[in-house]
Amino acid sequence: MIEAQKAKRDAANSIADPKERDAALAKIDADNAAIVQKALDSDKVQAKISAMNKHQLTQFSNAAFSYMVGVLKDKQLADESSSLVSGATANPTLLPRLSSLKDVVSSVSSQASNSARIADGLVKLAQSGKFSKLPTSASDTPKEMATMTVRADGILSHRAD
């Protein structure tokens, strides 16, 4: 599945028209977010999380916490970038850059939306008591994590560096 997604992304990146390329990449990102969201809700993933030892669960919890800090920062950036576009329309010297600013806002908003879809699954896991609480602010500090690997059987394991 990862190779297929990589091939789709490579094909999208080779599209010459920037708007078509951005649309194709946005669709891939949305599809990936849907896949992760569905996986987080799946019985298979739920069983793997339940089978984690304390260290693995702590690492997964820390990763989820750090990811959620990023989601909150994406949301904050999306909100602030929309304000920037509003301000740019009122400033004639920024009008030549307005198109680029709108593209950035669209990209950031799309990223925030896709991240939020994944975050929904993490919130459900946190609410079910699978791991500790999630951040409430974009200014929260991401948590430390040890290096983890995925074994051939799909189980996360700690890798000593």
What is the chain's alpha carbon radius of gyration, rounded to the nearest angstrom? 19
Q: What distances in angstroms separate CA 39 from CA 5, 49, 60, one per listed residue? A: 15, 12, 15
> What pLDDT band is residue 161 in, cutting at 50, 70 and 90?
very low
Q: What distances in angstroms separate CA 89 from CA 95, 96, 98, 101, 138, one per listed residue? A: 6, 10, 7, 10, 27
pLDDT of residue 119: 85
Tokens 């609410």 identify what position? 127
pLDDT of residue 11: 92
